[in-house]
Amino acid sequence: MIRGAGRCRSALPLAVFAAALMAVAGCRSGTGAAAGPEPGSREASVAEGPSHAADATIEKAKTPEEKRALEKARDDVDAEMREKARALDAEIERLQRDNERLKK
């Protein structure tokens, strides 16, 4: 068995993980994200501002340091997910243009 396995010296790592997981799950869901564009629309679907999926976890932070760490984790995950969403939106637009070109 690994020494120290199963022991956690601080709730912060688990709380950061929970906040990150919730932010990933909520980044493109109905919580914190704007409604997506109509099908076939070329309007971007990436919401701005922080996602709200981790708000409940962040509010339970026991110290200001823990709260800042959770907010940073949320913001980092939000930024990563927004970048992925923008890349996917660009790929969708490219495929739609290719599709239109092939229809002609």
State pLDDT tens for residues 6-40: 555 555 566 666 666 565 565 544 444 444 555 55
Q: Is residue 17 part of a domain?
A: yes
Query: Residue 85: pLDDT band by 50, 70, 90 thresholds?
Result: very high
- Residue 7 lies inside a defined structural domain of this protein: no
Considering only CA atoms, which of 25, 28, 20 is closest in space to residue 83?
Answer: 28
Distances (CA, A) of 12 to 73, 76, 86, 87: 11, 16, 31, 32
User: How far is residue 9's CA from residue 91's CA, in Å, rounded to a whole number?
Assistant: 44
Residue 1's pLDDT is what? 46
Tell me the pLDDT of the chain averaged across its residues. Answer: 76
Instruction: State the pLDDT at residue 30.
Output: 46
Q: How many folded domains does the chain comprise?
A: 1
Domain that holds residue 73: 12-32+46-103
Residue 3 CA from chain centroid, whole number: 34
pLDDT of residue 39: 52
Specify the pLDDT at position 3: 57
Q: Is 28 inside a domain boundary? A: yes
Does a structural domain hold residue 25?
yes
Task: Determine, yes or no, domain membership for 5.
Answer: no
3 lies in some domain: no
Residue 40 is assigned to a structural domain of this protein: no
DSSP H or E stretch at residue 72: helix 64-103
pTM of the model as a whole: 0.55
Residue 98 forms part of a structural domain: yes
What integer is the mean pLDDT of 89-93?
97
Which DSSP category does 53 fall into? T
